[in-house]
């Protein structure tokens, strides 16, 4: 009597079962990553306008794949996004959509602009940690009006 599973049910059947298990695990893993990832990349001006006019507060992060600071900032943004589930977080590549970067006064990357009610209400240039970003967002949502846009590290008036 053989103890190999392949001998008992056939090698092709084992391959089929393992392939099915692998596909289920892969699908579950991909769904988990998508569920954890809350920073959504927009690729058109229309998609951007629709997102900021959604009625929810929206944090827009202007980045570039060539910007090392932007790549370091993204995990902080993801963490803040997980904490602030009622806020939408979107990423805009400033080089793919330069008209948006120009419209919102982006002169350095990364840059963050916070929208409430479809209007920009706060923003800053530079990277911050997740706690600081969450603080900026909560403050902007409470205020709900544009009173200033400043660079990270500048004193508030």
Q: Looking at the DSSP assignment, which residues form a beta bridge with residue 89?
A: 39, 59
87 is catalytic: no
Catalytic residue among 60, 70, 97, 141: 70
Q: Of all residues in the chain, what percent are helix, strand and coil, respectively (each to 5)? A: 50, 20, 30
67 is catalytic: yes
Q: Which of 47, 113, 101, 52 has the alpha carbon at shortest distance from 77?
A: 113
- Placement of tokens 């969450």 in the chain: 134
Catalytic residue among 60, 67, 84, 116: 67
- Beta strand 150-151 pairing with 119-125: parallel
Q: Residues with catalytic annotation?
A: 67, 70
């Amino acid at each position: 009597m053989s103890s190999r599973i392949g001998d008992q049910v056939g090698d092709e059947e084992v391959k089929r079962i393992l392939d099915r298990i692998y596909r289920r695990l892969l699908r579950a893993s991909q769904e988990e990553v998508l569920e954890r990832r809350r920073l959504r990349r927009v690729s058109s001006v229309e998609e951007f306008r629709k997102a900021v006019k959604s009625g929810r507060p929206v944090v827009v992060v202007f980045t570039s794949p060539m910007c090392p600071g932007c790549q370091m900032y993204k995990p902080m943004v993801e963490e803040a996004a997980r904490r602030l589930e009622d806020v939408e977080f979107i990423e805009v590549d400033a080089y793919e959509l330069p008209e948006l970067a120009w419209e919102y006064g982006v002169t350095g990357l990364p840059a963050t602009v916070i929208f409430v009610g479809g209007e920009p209400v706060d923003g800053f240039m530079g990277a911050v940690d997740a706690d600081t970003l969450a603080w900026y967002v909560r403050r902007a949502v409470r205020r709900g009006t544009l009173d200033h846009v400043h660079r990270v590290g500048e004193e508030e008036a």
